[in-house]
Structure 1
């Protein structure tokens, strides 16, 4: 079942945390996708960095210092699969959507498809996914992704991070 909340809703972290709790098992890993070279695509690495700084009890891949993005995705996924061949994975990424959905965080019962919104064909990632809708689908997505405010993406990353930390503690 898909769950969605608005990123700055007062109870967003609690709602997402309760929804995510059943997925946090001993063999779970987090894979955060994106790049710090584009504000609109840095949601995943921000979450990864915040989780690592919080001493999150599960393995986390994809941070600002070591991002997982289009250019290294296949190589990074091979390394992760070698380390965790059968682990349940939660993938986190930014996403483009309808204008009225900007700011929505969704937990989906499906993997993410990185780069799909900008026409790339990359491998899917995760057993379930957490996506943050950072902008609308526009004709020139490249320009759009560079006009998103970092403060907005940071608040969304903090909400997702708090939700995962809460889920780990429930």
Structure 2
């Protein structure tokens, strides 16, 4: 992460993911297949990644965002985390439909499972900071989070899911 995705090949990452059992093997193989197809087509996915420049690139993205965009990113991520906590506390996650609805959305894997809940204190601040960076650098991520927030709000209000 410090040096960026250019420093580590996707194949190396996939090997580590597989060795440490991070994610289903089918998903890791699918990532390998996409990387191989892109490489065969002459596309370097690592260089095209928003994380290509690592920590220096992430810092640059935050600095260049401007106050208004940065504040909107932090606010959206904090509200999203709050909505996720409310859904988990107020809705019965034993209800297979609620959990299934949450899990069907792309943001379940991209955000909710890996930092969407921001606990009080330093860990929560770190979670919001990481979400904010994703909001700023990953194309489409902010829109996906907003759609997920709408879904969570509908679950909280008991209205039909969009």
Instruction: Give the greater-gyration-radius structure (CA).
Output: 2
TM-score band w.r.t. shorter chain? under 0.3
Which structure: greater helix fraction?
Answer: 2
Q: Which has the higher contact order (CA 8 A, sep 6+)?
A: 1
